[in-house]
Amino acid sequence: MDSLHLPQDDQDERHAEKGKEIKVSPAQSTMTLIEEKPEHTDPWDLPELRDTGVPWSALDTRGKVLRVFVSLGKLVLLLGLLYMFICSLDILSSAFQLVGGKAAGDIFQDNSVLSNPLAGLVIGVLVTLLVQSSSTSSSIVVSMVSSGLLTVQVAVPIIMGTNIGTSVTNTLVAMTQAGDRSTFRRAFAGATVHDFFNWLSVMVLLPLEVATGYLYVVTKLIIDSFKIQSGEAPDLLNVITDVLTKSIIELDESVINGIATGDPEARNRSLIKRWCQTFTNTTLMNVTVPGPENCTSPSLCWVDGNYTFTLKNVSETYNIKKCKHLFVDVNLPDLAVGLILLALSLLVLCSCLILIVKLLNSMLKGQVAAVIKKILNTDFPFPFGWVTGYIAILVGAGMTFIVQSSSVFTSAITPLVGIGVISIERAYPLSLGSNIGTTTTAILAAMASPGETLANALQIALVHFLFNISGIILWYPIPFTRIPIRLAKNLGNITASYRWFAAVYIICCFFLLPLFIFSLSLAGWQVLVGVGVPLIVMFIIIIVINVLQKWKPGCLPVVLRSWDFLPLWAYSLAPWDKVVGVITAKCCCCCKCCQVTVDNEAHTENESVENNKKSHTEVYDNPAMSAEKEVENEIKIELKILKMTQL
């Protein structure tokens, strides 16, 4: 009897061990990790920048002096890199104008298309992308309004589009931080929060403007109420940066304006400025005219045989002093010079940004990091905590006014968001302030217009200002309405898992979508409404279903409570991630990189095994890879169980 009971006891023990091993499998899931370590559940927590160096108290006199000199050297190098970074952005803008400036002027010249508000919005986006400067595209619009080619009402949607187009620069800057997953998550979210604010503001204010003329009416009342004297826009940071940028390239901005306003001579002129100092002499001369009707006045007209003469003011321009930039004597077309500058400026831009991030990582450690993070991210004590965000808006506006470019300011704070010095909640009001700062510069520039065109130019600048103020009122004062932050965080989570999706986002939102809408606009209102309305309705329905699935699934039919009834590729990026991986692997094979790829994959697998043992990094890994690892673990456990049961 004892011998009969022994196998049963062994079998019970095996069953117990089997139960223990089966319970081990869920420990590898991300949900269990989240429950065991709640402190690691939020990837948006700012990382602690620890000081790994020798403490100050442990240094001798020589070490302290050396550290002071090294810190000062790093600070000087950081300021130099920031200077080169700002100059490279300026050169990048000039390069885009050389490559696509004349095309931008041609786009603005088609008044029949501009009369469509949606087409005007898209044209504002595309032109700003071409010239990489909202101030340049805004000045083109102001020139056209001043010359009577555009009315203020038609120009309002174009100004909205320039606001969107200028936000692509900091999104591109965030792409340079794709090396580290957590850094890229924060940097891309910090950059795209600006994009979402602009897109959401346009989605609300453009239909409102078309229906009521809100921006036009309010700015018209302001212009009529105040008699503003003409002034001049100040040169602040440009005084410092122009020393370098004008020694590399100098452009004639009047050429693009001339093409946009229909000047036939402007099309044959080069955008590259050759003569920096000219003299125009106007003299009263005898000139021949076709007939007496072409004379300046009957008293100044006489006929001599077959010729009719009159007195007329003739202006002649004399070139006095040549410019001193690098390309003044280069016999290359504008496109070639633009491509050369584009490649060089992008190289300098990326290099400076990478070095700036590394310098900031080395400088912002220990006590310095704690002080800076506390100053930037801490709210005022109760009950004045709500004031902090508005102070950040004012700081962003002031800094943008100093650098005279919202792209420069938002691109400068993007790496700070990435390394964890500035939270996305604080970067959001700073970006809103930069939108206001760039409009104040435009207002001062408009005030420098001649008296006869001052009213229209100033009204367009005020439209830009009021548009951003209205957007802030919509998406900031009430915490619930700060939707751009939530959207940017969701996009940051997606791009952290699937980094290729960041490039897809930029291409679709800033190129394909505007071109698609522009093409529909060219086809006419009927095609635009027939295609656009069903797509918008479908988009709204999908958003509503997603919200209900998350918060009120009981309100939906059983089928719509999840998207499982659709193919996996229709609602998940995991299949697309595999496609991208296969394409990348094939490209690497074509470039003879197969062996390197295999070594990297083996190294990655070894690291993933070690991380599984430590159980702290798999929370934010690719969901598709995590699922495959869980399946492998379950298969191993089942094989062990089968072996034990066979015994």
What is the per-residue pLDDT for 476?
Answer: 92
Summarised one tens digit per residue, pLDDT across range 147-179 is 666 778 888 898 888 888 877 878 888 887 777
What is the per-residue pLDDT for 81?
Answer: 86
Residues of the chain with pLDDT under 50: 1-9, 11, 13-39, 230-233, 594, 596-598, 602, 605, 608-609, 611-627, 645-647
Beta sheet of 275-289, edge-to-edge order? 275-289, 307-322, 301-304
Tell me whether strands 275-289 and 301-304 are parallel, antiparallel or unpaired: unpaired
Helix (H, G, I), strand (E, B) or coil at 547: helix
* Local structure of residue 177 (DSSP, 8 states): T
Structure tokens that stand for 129 in this block: 């992308």
Contact by Cβ (8 Å): 209, 203: no
Alpha carbons 268 and 263: distance in angstroms, whole number:
10
Helix (H, G, I), strand (E, B) or coil at 51: coil
Alpha carbons 430 and 625: distance in angstroms, whole number:
37
Structure tokens that stand for 68 in this block: 């002071």
Alpha carbons 45 and 190: distance in angstroms, whole number:
13
What is the per-residue pLDDT for 23?
Answer: 43
What is the per-residue pLDDT for 615?
Answer: 43
Alpha carbons 103 and 206: distance in angstroms, whole number:
25
Contact by Cβ (8 Å): 97, 256: yes
Structure tokens that stand for 325 in this block: 């930039």
Summarised one tens digit per residue, pLDDT across range 338-353 is 888 888 887 887 788 7
**Helix 61-109 and helix 117-131: axis angle, to 10°?**
140
Q: How many CB atoms lie within 10 A of CB 404?
A: 23
Q: How many CB atoms lie within 10 A of CB 28?
A: 17
What is the per-residue pLDDT for 326?
Answer: 85
What is the per-residue pLDDT for 365?
Answer: 60
